[in-house]
Amino acid sequence: MCDYRIRVLIKGFNNLLDLFNKKLSKIEDFLVLFVGISIFIVMILTSIQIISRVFGYPWPAFLELSELAISIFAFLGVAFAQRMDAHIRMELLVANLKGRVKWIIEFIATFCAFIVIGILIYFSSLFAIDAYVIGDSTMDYLFPTWPAKMLVPIGFAIWFLRLFLELIGYFRLAVNIDSEPMYVPIIKTAEELANEEIESIRE
C-alpha cells in the first residue's frame, strides 16, 4: 500500500513537472518570437534612419529608443537559449565524462548558475525600482528607463525557472543514470551534429 502511494505521488509530481515545462516552454517561445520581431523592426527602422539621415532628415530620439530596446534583445531570449543549449559552454571536461559523474557535474554547474541568476534577479529588480522611484530618464528626450530595466529581472526570472527544471532533470539522472533525460538539453557530439546536417541536406 505504501509503495502504491509513493508511485502515485511520483507520477503526480512528474505530471505536474510536465505541465510546468509545457507552460514555461510556451512563454519562452513567445518571448523569443517577440525578440525576433523586435530585432527585425529595429533593423528596418535603422536602415530607414540611415537613408533619411543621408537626405538630411534624421529621426529625433531614434538612437535613445534603440538603446532602450537592447534590453529586449539581450535578456528576453536567455531562457529559450538555455532550453536549446545555445549558451556558450566550456565542454572540454564535461564532454568526456560518462555516467553518474557527468550528471553530478552538470547538476553542480547548473546549481551555481541557479544561485547567480537568483542574485541577479534581486539586484536588477532593485535597480529597476530605483530607476522608477527617482524618475531616471535618457539624456536628451527624457524617456523613462525603468521599463527597459524591468525587462532584465523578467528575463532572468524565466531563466531561473528553466534552471530549476534542469536541476530536477540532472538530479534524476544522477540518482538513476538509466532514466530517460527530461528537462535537460541533450549535448550532441560534433559527429552527431555533422550527421544531422548531412541528413537534412539529403532530405
Write out pLDDT tens, residues 5-24: 767 676 777 788 889 999 99
Give me the pLDDT at residue 200, please.
Answer: 65
pLDDT in tens, 132-150: 999 999 888 889 999 999 9
Mean pLDDT value across the chain: 87
Q: Which residues contact 86 (CB under 8 A, 6 or more apart)?
A: 80
Domain boundaries, the chain: 2-202
All three cell numbers of 173, joined, read 539522472
Give me the pLDDT at residue 114, please.
Answer: 96
- The string of DSSP letters for 2-62 reads HHHHHHHHHHHHHHHHHHHHHHHHHHHHHHHHHHHHHHHHHHHHHHHHHHHHHTT-PPTTH
- Spell 137-146 as b/e; 16+ CB within 10 A means b: ebeeeebebb
Give me the pLDDT at residue 17, please.
Answer: 87
Residues of the chain with pLDDT under 70: 1-4, 6, 8, 10, 187-194, 196-197, 200, 202-203
Read off the pTM: 0.86
All three cell numbers of 103, joined, read 550528471
183: left (phi over 0), alpha (psi -120 to 50) or beta: left
CA-to-CA separations, 63 to 35, 59, 111, 139, 185, in angstroms, rounded: 18, 9, 39, 11, 38
CA-to-CA separations, 139 to 87, 130, 136, 146, in angstroms, rounded: 33, 17, 9, 14
Give me the pLDDT at residue 113, please.
Answer: 94
The closest alpha carbon to 13, from 182, 158, 159, belongs to: 182
Cα(170)–Cα(182) distance, rounded to whole angstroms? 8
Task: Return the CA Rg of the chain.
Answer: 22
Sign of the CA dihedral with 182 first, then 183, 184, and 185 last? positive
Count Cα neighbours of 145 within 13 Å in the Cβ-side half-sphere. Answer: 20
Cα(167)–Cα(183) distance, rounded to whole angstroms? 8
End-to-end CA distance of the chain: give it in Å, rounded.
Answer: 52
